[in-house]
Amino acid sequence: MSKEDVSEGLKRGTLIQGVLRINPKKFHEAFIPSPDGDRDIFIDGVVARNRALNGDLVVVKLLPEEQWKVIKPESNDKETEGAYELDLPEELCGSHLLQQPVKGYNDSPDVIIEAQFEDSDPEDGHGSTQNVLVDGVKKPSVCVHDKGKEDADAPVTKDESTSTSQDPRALPEKSLQRSAKVVYILEKKHSRAATGFLKLLADKNSELFRKYALFSPSDHRVPRIYVPLKDCPQDFVTRPQDYANTLFICRIVDWKEDSNFALGQLAKSLGQAGEIEPETEGILTEYGVDFSDFSSEVLECLPQGLPWTIPPEEFSKRRDLRKDCIFTIDPSTARDLDDALSCKPLADGNFEVGVHIADVSYFVPEGSPLDKVAAERATSVYLVQKVIPMLPRLLCEELCSLHPMTDKLTFSVIWTLTPEGKILGEWFGRTIIRSCTKLSYEHAQSMIESPNEKIPEKELPPISPEHTSEEVHRAVLNLHGIAKELRKQRFVDGALRLDQLKLAFTLDHETGLPQGCHIYEYRDSNKLVEEFMLLANMAVAHKTHRTFPERALLRRHPPPQTKMLNDLVEFCEQLGLPMDFSSAGALNKSLTTTFGDDKYSLARKEVLTNMCSRPMQMALYFCSGMLRDQTQFRHYALNVPLYTHFTSPIRRFADVLVHRLLAAALGCGELPDLEPEALQKQADHCNDRRMASKRVQELSTGLFFAVLVKSPALQESGPLESEAMVLGVLNQAFDVLVLRYGVQKRIYCNALPLRSYHFQKVGKKPELKLVWEPEDTDLEPVQQVVTIFSLVEVVLQAETTALKYSAVLKRPGTEGLLGRQEGEQPDASVAGDLQA
């Protein structure tokens, strides 16, 4: 359609726009969200997608009603909603950043890669990487496997209903799903790059065979691509088998309307599939992450005369806090230290509490080449083994990073607080600090856990001579006391948190390969930092919006999608779970009071938390002047009217913009040269890059876990076994949360030695009855019913294909981890790994 017709159609309401989601399991199915929050709009087949790719912003036209999708009565809702990429805002559950080890680390051959909690607010402060959730509701892309799905010999009765051929219009309204076709691509969000493998074309006598090779993308949502043979390795045609396991990157350059195949250009050969670095480079390229070196033009914007010292004139413009007891709390391996804290007792029993954030905007002049590249990158990207920084390392890790015992430029928010966390006074301003020590979360935790004992000096990092360990210890305890009160009040006021399991890895010091993994524990020291970052972000949001009501850069979180929430309400009623979904606070209360403390109950809570996260929407940066309805400014998860990001400018460009706005509000800086429309455009770009960064992080975690499952050391000691809880049941498969590792897997019935299986819905509750083929012909077949919250035992096993591993259900009654009836509590030894 022409641009003019599309504009007219969108105005009249005859066309609908939305972000395209392609189901990674059934790539002929695609969806866009319904504008009214009802069931997704269905787009059937590659032709109807009209060359749009996953993530693109598209315009669709509804098809006539007789062409709408007929929904089978027993079909699972996940089939009508497609595969949701869980776009949870980090305020709600968080996402951990994985820091690379410090170079020269030599205490042990292993390095624990910790969860670095971004800036430790509940959006960015903790929670999960969606347990290796990548492109589906619960499907790691590194392990999509349909083993046995087409196996003609499998002794299986499928019990699959097909849609009837009756006229769809005669069916009840609820059993139809609106269907549409793409008529325009408003914005190509997908990078048009893919990783995959080269193959020769099948027909050796065709004209195409002499000109092109076939590029087969690893992501089946991207079409197969013809690439010119001249782009391919010289000996590819004569020795194609030599390249069977070589990973290439290809970019789509053209895609004709009438072709199922695109035309592309081979960008480069990455290396062997299944190896960490080639796979990582492929992930970064596919998601459009710029990991190139910074140009000389950008580096020239940095201070040239090193070592750099603070110019004398800055002291007259800033509040000098260098004598105060100020310190950082971060993961032990962190190098980009954005934030520091201080807590000074006052004579009246109250406290002066400060949050001190690196003054990155001082080093990044607006409009400079450095500013432009930071705006384009928009965020640092945290992989398991390394960080792709938003800013050159000289800034990230040296000049801006708040290292101890060096003078640093900062932007501070300082409050007078009562011990209960009530705000009596507030001050914003540019400051100079000198952190007295760099605490790790473990250091702060040991201080919290030993309130009356002196921590031995050898167990603490160096502390500057002007301050004592006792002074730091007291400050940590006072901050902890106030943070507990702030947190308690937040949840009383109706905040929501959906905590999910997440992985941290132990890496081999020499090879960088994963040696083991464990579920990361989120503790009081993390919560302490989180509360004060939240407080600072909210304070700055109010300050900038008060001063610049049309130009504030804020962060909103819309309420959950109505249709999915209503389905969940109905589902919980069927299960007899007393869940209240009327507000964020009500949901939080339900999740914290419905379940007991035994390990089985905690596992059920994990599953339900996962289900509650599906209707949640993304949190979004926006310009206040571009949204007229101020009720839409609200943040659903935090349940506050205004929120922004101020506390992590080293790794988020949005925070740099907020720093500039705050400086202008305080009269110590120029108002950024951005009209509301331009600021909104930058906000949209930050949203896109943040989403891409999150996906890359999840894929990196998935990659390392897949490598771990395949590692020879693990193969020698036998396959990985764990208890798992069922969190979704489909017609021929079911999804489980593997409790020991926090990963989610799909188990296909066809891949199990079953005599038959049967799917049915009991009310709204789906269940699969499995009939196992007996191991001994004299024995009766064993029956097993799989439904939501069933506790099962699974084995994770490597497959021959690079980076694929599957989960297989263990036969009931075999010796293993369970050894008890379904529904009984897990063994303490097994469930001890579960952190809820």
In the annotated binding site for Mg(2+), the residues are 330, 339
Residues 6+ apart with CB under 8 A from 205: none
d(CA 300, CA 25): 47
d(CA 314, CA 320): 10
d(CA 65, CA 173): 11
Buried b (16+ CB within 10 A) or exposed e, 262-294: bebbbbeebbebbbbebbbbbbbbbbebeeeeb
| CA separation, residue 534 to residues 315, 529, 638, 646 (Å) | 28, 9, 9, 9
Cis status, amide bond into 278, omega within 30 of 0 = no
d(CA 136, CA 85): 5
**How far is residue 242 CA from its own chain's centroid?**
36
d(CA 591, CA 611): 11
User: ∠ CA 548-553-554 to the nearest 5 degrees?
Assistant: 110
Residues 6+ apart with CB under 8 A from 656: 360, 361, 364, 374, 649
- Helices 562-575 and 599-613 cross at an angle (nearest 10°) of 150
d(CA 706, CA 805): 7
Give the DSSP letter string of 523-588. -HHHHHHHHHHHHHHHHHHHHHHHH-TTT-EEEEBPPPPHHHHHHHHHHHHHHT-----SSHHHHH
List the structure tokens of 691. 């989403």
- A 10 A CB-CB count for 229 gives 19
Amino acid at 693: S
Annotated binding site: 330, 339
The two beta strands, 319-320 and 423-434, are parallel
| CA separation, residue 342 to residues 318, 332, 334, 351, 437 (Å) | 17, 19, 19, 10, 11
Q: Which H or E run contains 187?
A: strand 180-187
> Is there a contact between 61 and 35 (Cβ–Cβ < 8 Å)?
no
Half-sphere exposure of 604 (CA within 13 A, CB side): 22
Closest CA to 92 of 735, 587, 571, 631: 587
Burial class (CB in 10 A: 0-12, 13-18, 19+), 207: exposed
d(CA 544, CA 663): 9
Phi, psi of 295 (to 5 degrees): -70, 160
d(CA 295, CA 199): 36
Burial class (CB in 10 A: 0-12, 13-18, 19+), 535: buried
Burial class (CB in 10 A: 0-12, 13-18, 19+), 148: middle
List the structure tokens of 655. 């925070």
Half-sphere exposure of 514 (CA within 13 A, CB side): 25
Helix, strand, coil in percent for the chain, rounding step 5: 30, 25, 45
Burial class (CB in 10 A: 0-12, 13-18, 19+), 402: buried
DSSP 292: S
Give the DSSP letter string of 471-509. HHHHHHHHHHHHHHHHHHHHHHTT--------EEEEEET
